Amino acid sequence: MGKTGKPKRTVARRMKGFRDIAAADVAARDRMIARIRTVYERYGFTPLETPALEYVDVLGKFLPEADQPDAGIFAFRDEDQDWVALRYDLTAPLSRFVAMNLQHLPLPFRRYQIAPVYRMDKPGPGRFREFYQFDFDTVGTGSMLADAECCMVMCDALEAVGIDRGDYIVNLNDRKVLTGVLERVAGGSRMADDLAGNVLRQIDKLERIGREGVEQMLGAGRKDDSGAFNQGTGLTPEQINIVMTYLDVAGDTRRAVYDAMESVVGDSKIGREGVDELRQIDETLTCAGYGDDRVVIDPTVVRGLAYYTGPVFEAVLTFDVQDDNGQSRQFGSVFGGGRYDNLIARFTGQQVLSTGASMGVDRLLAALKALGKIGGVSATAPVLVSRLDKNLTADYVELVTELRDAGIGAELYVGKQGIGKQFKYASDSGKTLAIVMGSDELAKGEISMKDLRLGNELAKEIGADRKRWLEEQPAQFSTPRANLVSAVREVLARYA
Amino acid sequence: MGKTGKPKRTVARRMKGFRDIAAADVAARDRMIARIRTVYERYGFTPLETPALEYVDVLGKFLPEADQPDAGIFAFRDEDQDWVALRYDLTAPLSRFVAMNLQHLPLPFRRYQIAPVYRMDKPGPGRFREFYQFDFDTVGTGSMLADAECCMVMCDALEAVGIDRGDYIVNLNDRKVLTGVLERVAGGSRMADDLAGNVLRQIDKLERIGREGVEQMLGAGRKDDSGAFNQGTGLTPEQINIVMTYLDVAGDTRRAVYDAMESVVGDSKIGREGVDELRQIDETLTCAGYGDDRVVIDPTVVRGLAYYTGPVFEAVLTFDVQDDNGQSRQFGSVFGGGRYDNLIARFTGQQVLSTGASMGVDRLLAALKALGKIGGVSATAPVLVSRLDKNLTADYVELVTELRDAGIGAELYVGKQGIGKQFKYASDSGKTLAIVMGSDELAKGEISMKDLRLGNELAKEIGADRKRWLEEQPAQFSTPRANLVSAVREVLARYA
């Protein structure tokens, strides 16, 4: 109680960057996920669930934004004063699981996981602190077959949810090729990790700052849009030239691209290994029918995570959509992944060769919505049994039970508003049909039905002629009580 | 790096009270949930998702174990130094959501939510700190129709997952009846909240400490099994007598029970209101065909939560199972709920009449397993395309792609073990069928198939005669390469 004697109210509020997801969106997402799960399972991936909380040292620090000091995770001390955190991805928990179960896990182990992950990023439009990832990984093999299948899974998943071939592309590259290029930049020996990381980050900015921007950032630096000067990597013009030659590699076929890469990496052993990996993946893809229209080799793909060791890949949506301001924009990458042969070794001390990819659930869902490929998923029971006369409640309970026993979703109106408000409630909550029965109908052994969708459409069409419509009520009709189930089925079938 | 120069390994470990859930268990749970979701949706409940994190004051403190100082939630300070916590149930977040959206939410609002919740309880066998709840609630109506439907949903849900009628019972009571009884104990006026809470907690112990135990605890107290003395409530023998008379209320029908209750509550207004609520619920249930074999009125049901204001209910599994030590035990309550008319008012200042129930997902799943009602859910692709001869990999890729294109789950073996180990891998990971093709078969245009399930069964039967079995290979046969898909379908159909 406050000093005034009034009870102090709690303010109902949600944490910033978090959201509530309404029925239609949950249903649309679940439908999308079900289709993608079918694809993952078709390749032999099986579900695994790991906890949302893990020890911080077990998760490690592998966020792509790790160089931004304000990017973070939700971490706190547990009752034993150990640091724990909400998972920020699904790969770190998978690594922990594999390390704990390596003795008895049949390898290669193929798992998928769909779960929310948590990042304390700066929230913004479409950027949430709790969001779903949907990962699939193959653990315990160095075979490029597994990496080729990653590319195939991404293609199949996107087509399964209705993205047409041609509206997406899988971009493939290999970190070993990049390492080979950096070896050449470093004059033939392995480039120091810090410097290599710096160069890769500049390359990764290509899409944002353009070719010239990358060239400047590899050298002395450049002014960004705000006018601030960003310090560059400080490579010599000759060194920069090697990187730019590599980034300019292009070709009409995957083969043409890795052949061109081969000449850039020269005699770098690791670079040649990377080219050979791309060659193997290309052969498998070709064999399985995944041509250059679906998977291309792109020398500019880096993928942000420091732990990738071999092939890296992403699936990108290539069509434009108009946003609310009439601006055309692209959705960009909806899958990202790669091979991480050393990640599990930080627990086991020995390599557990692994590869996999992660789907950004929200971005793909937004794209499907923009394409009109996922709308109209109704999560509500289609029928409302209204209560015109509260004295007939027992009869209404019988009606609704009969419908449910027939497997038809039917909600009994349990509020206390009048029939007009009940129809509005039925429309607002997405019902297809309302059933009405007064004492007259009861005496005649009849029920009335109102086709709410038809009613709403007619109401729109008729407009000014509303009065006539109200009198004629074309969307409303009567039927014998005994025909309840079949009459309801008939109306529902109009919208099936 | 440690002082010895060796890289320091992180120990792969999981937080106590948390668990990893393997493929078969995820698949079994998802199948159970899908069936129950169908029931919820049939009644007009729609999905809502709220965040895992909420402000602590928004969640409030409504845990049933709130009198135990060591029971708790996972709480910490966010970057703004506000206290936030992982949700410990789904009702508190629902209340927050309703309060934030009350202006435009069509009422009554019916939502379901399935999500993990988090409690820092003492972990134990079957007791986890992260576990799923599956709630359904009707917000914005005081109609007893909504409470009656809660009972009906619980019955339908249990039958939908295969619990036979007679193997469960829904126990129903009303907090207003209890309040009425306490009013009589207090001599006609409302009993003080603290004392009332104390009495309810003693009643709630009935199943654990028995009738005599409750009688003692309502009075001076009693020694528990450890020999420690537990201070009682301190009621007079006359007061205790009223409570015990109430607890002894029984009858063959719901009507007989609430009639008997009516005489115990006497002229207590709130007590009579409670009896009337039970009468209304009984009438609806009877009307819908939910008889005394499915829903009974039980005066001893309290349900732990302090915020319940009217009907309370639970669904209890009544069959015995043998545990691993041959002891018979019961699973107890798998659903619990009740009406909470004042909960949302702590945000809004005005009542939002609400009722609902929560399902304990793990306990029901354990019961279904014990009954053998949910086993055999396979989450893995049924076919392994083995790689007998690595030089034929391109042909294997074609085989596996053909199967997948036909919608058959098929995993390509991407490890590097020999064929014997590949068969073991296929068996260990639950495959039904392995496909083998060597250069001989390739030349003849054939493939070999191994029915792994049949093989495993025969291997068990044959035992010592293993050598003969290995020669004859009854589970292995050849078929033309062109018949791949139909031959695989034929074998899979044996186990469909």
Nearest to B282 by CA among B268, B266, B262, B264: B262
Determine contact: A261 vs chain B, CB below 8 A: no
CATH class of A168-314: alpha beta
Q: For the segment A13-22, what is each residue's pLDDT rounded down to a tens digit?
A: 999 999 999 9
What average pLDDT does range A281-293 have in this prediction?
97
Per DSSP, which regions of A27-87 are E strands? Answer: 46-47, 53-55, 75-77, 83-86
Q: Among B15, B48, B107, whose Cβ lies nearest the Cβ of A51?
A: B15
CB-CB under 8 Å, A78 with B20: no
What average pLDDT does range B414-439 have in this prediction?
93
Determine contact: B464 vs chain A, CB below 8 A: no
Q: How far apart are CA B145 and CA A213, in angstroms?
A: 67
What average pLDDT does range B256-283 have in this prediction?
97
Q: For the segment B438-450, what is each residue's pLDDT rounded down to a tens digit?
A: 999 999 999 999 9
Q: Is the pLDDT of residue B64 over 60?
A: no
pLDDT (0 to 100) of residue A453:
87
CB-CB under 8 Å, A397 with B288: yes
Determine contact: B402 vs chain A, CB below 8 A: no
Joined together, the tokens standing for residue B136 give: 């359904």
pLDDT (0 to 100) of residue B61:
73
Q: For the segment A215-245, what is each residue's pLDDT rounded down to a tens digit?
A: 999 999 999 888 999 999 999 999 999 999 9
CB-CB under 8 Å, A9 with B26: no
Q: Is the pLDDT of residue B67 over 50?
A: no
Query: For residue B350, with 0-12 CB atoms within 10 Å meaning exposed, 13-18 middle and 19 or more buried, which class applies?
Result: exposed
pLDDT (0 to 100) of residue B324:
72
Determine contact: B78 vs chain A, CB below 8 A: yes
CB-CB under 8 Å, B42 with A13: no
Q: How many other CB atoms are there within 10 angstroms of residue B91's CB atom?
A: 26
CB-CB under 8 Å, A398 with B58: no
- Structure confidence at residue A1 as a pLDDT band (50, 70, 90): very low
Do residues A47 and B379 touch, judged by C-beta distance below 8 A?
A: yes
Q: Is the pLDDT of residue A259 over 50?
A: yes
B-proximal residues of A, 113-132, CB under 8 Å: 116, 118, 120, 130
More confident of the two residues B118 and A305:
B118
DSSP of B43-63, one letter per residue? TT-EE-B--SEEEHHHH-S--
Chain B nearest CA to A185, separation (Å): 29
pLDDT (0 to 100) of residue A35:
96
CB-CB under 8 Å, A287 with B428: no
pLDDT (0 to 100) of residue B475:
81
CB-CB under 8 Å, B138 with A397: no
DSSP lists the bridge partners of residue B231 as B221
Query: Mutation test of the interface with chain A: which of B6, B33, B46, B74, choosing the one with the most A Cβ atoms within 10 A?
Result: B46
pLDDT (0 to 100) of residue B304:
82
What average pLDDT does range A338-360 have in this prediction?
96
Q: Which CATH number fits domain A11-162+318-379: 3.40.190.10, 3.30.590.20, 3.40.640.10, 3.30.930.10?
A: 3.30.930.10
Please give the CATH superfamily to which domain B12-141+341-372 belongs. Bira Bifunctional Protein; Domain 2 (3.30.930.10)
Q: Among A30, A51, A379, whose Cβ lies nearest the Cβ of B19?
A: A51
pLDDT (0 to 100) of residue A467:
61
Pairing of strands A328-329, A321-322: antiparallel
Q: For the segment B299-341, what is each residue's pLDDT rounded down to a tens digit?
A: 999 998 889 999 999 999 999 887 777 788 888 899 999 999 9
Joined together, the tokens standing for residue A383 give: 């029928």
Residue of B nearest to A403 (CA): B42
Sort out which chain B residues have CB atoms less than 8 A from A22's CB and list them. 48
Sort out which chain B residues have CB atoms less than 8 A from A84's CB and list them. 15
CB-CB under 8 Å, A100 with B346: no
Residue of A nearest to B24 (CA): A47
More confident of the two residues A453 and A137:
A137
CB-CB under 8 Å, A145 with B393: yes
Q: How far apart are CA A269 and CA A184, in angstroms?
A: 11
What average pLDDT does range B176-182 have in this prediction?
97
Q: How far apart are CA A382 and CA A384, in angstroms?
A: 7
Q: How far apart are CA B416 and CA A143, in angstroms?
A: 8
Alpha-carbon separation of residue A460 from A39, A70, A432, B53, B56 (angstroms) = 42, 51, 16, 42, 46
Longest dimension (CA), chain B: 96
Q: Is the pLDDT of residue B400 over 60?
A: yes
Chain A nearest CA to B386, separation (Å): 13
Q: For the segment A188-201, what is each residue's pLDDT rounded down to a tens digit?
A: 999 999 999 999 99
Chain B nearest CA to A238, separation (Å): 36
Determine contact: B84 vs chain A, CB below 8 A: yes
Whole-number average pLDDT of chain B = 91
Q: What percent of chain A has pLDDT over 90?
A: 79
pLDDT (0 to 100) of residue A94:
98
Mean pLDDT is lowest, of B205-209, B473-477, B479-483, for: B473-477
Predicted complex ipTM: 0.91
More confident of the two residues B236 and A78:
B236
Q: How far apart are CA A99 and CA A101, in angstroms?
A: 6
Q: For the segment B82-116, what is each residue's pLDDT rounded down to a tens digit?
A: 999 999 999 999 999 999 999 999 999 999 999 99
Q: Is the pLDDT of residue A66 over 50?
A: no
Q: Where are the domains of chain B?
A: 12-141+341-372, 143-332, 383-493
Mean pLDDT is lowest, of A282-286, B146-150, B491-495, for: B491-495
Residue of B nearest to A387 (CA): B145
What average pLDDT does range B258-267 have in this prediction?
96
- Structure confidence at residue A257 as a pLDDT band (50, 70, 90): very high
Nearest to B281 by CA among B168, B182, B138, B142: B142
pLDDT (0 to 100) of residue B474:
67
Nearest to B277 by CA among B175, B156, B155, B152: B175
Mean pLDDT is lowest, of A139-148, B39-48, B60-69, B98-107, for: B60-69
Quick check: do A11-162+318-379 and A168-314 share a fold? yes
Joined together, the tokens standing for residue A333 give: 């990458």
Determine contact: B380 vs chain A, CB below 8 A: yes
Determine contact: B483 vs chain A, CB below 8 A: no
What average pLDDT does range B350-367 have in this prediction?
95
Pairing of strands B446-451, A311-317: unpaired
Chain A nearest CA to B186, separation (Å): 26
Q: How far apart are CA A261 and CA A184, in angstroms?
A: 12
Q: Which CATH number fits domain A383-493: 3.10.20.30, 3.40.50.800, 3.40.50.970, 3.40.640.10?
A: 3.40.50.800
CA angle, A60 as apex, A57 and A64 as ends, to 5°? 155
Query: For residue B491, with 0-12 CB atoms within 10 Å meaning exposed, 13-18 middle and 19 or more buried, which class applies?
Result: buried
- Structure confidence at residue B66 as a pLDDT band (50, 70, 90): very low
CB-CB under 8 Å, A379 with B46: yes
CATH class of B143-332: alpha beta
Q: What percent of chain B has pLDDT over 70?
A: 93
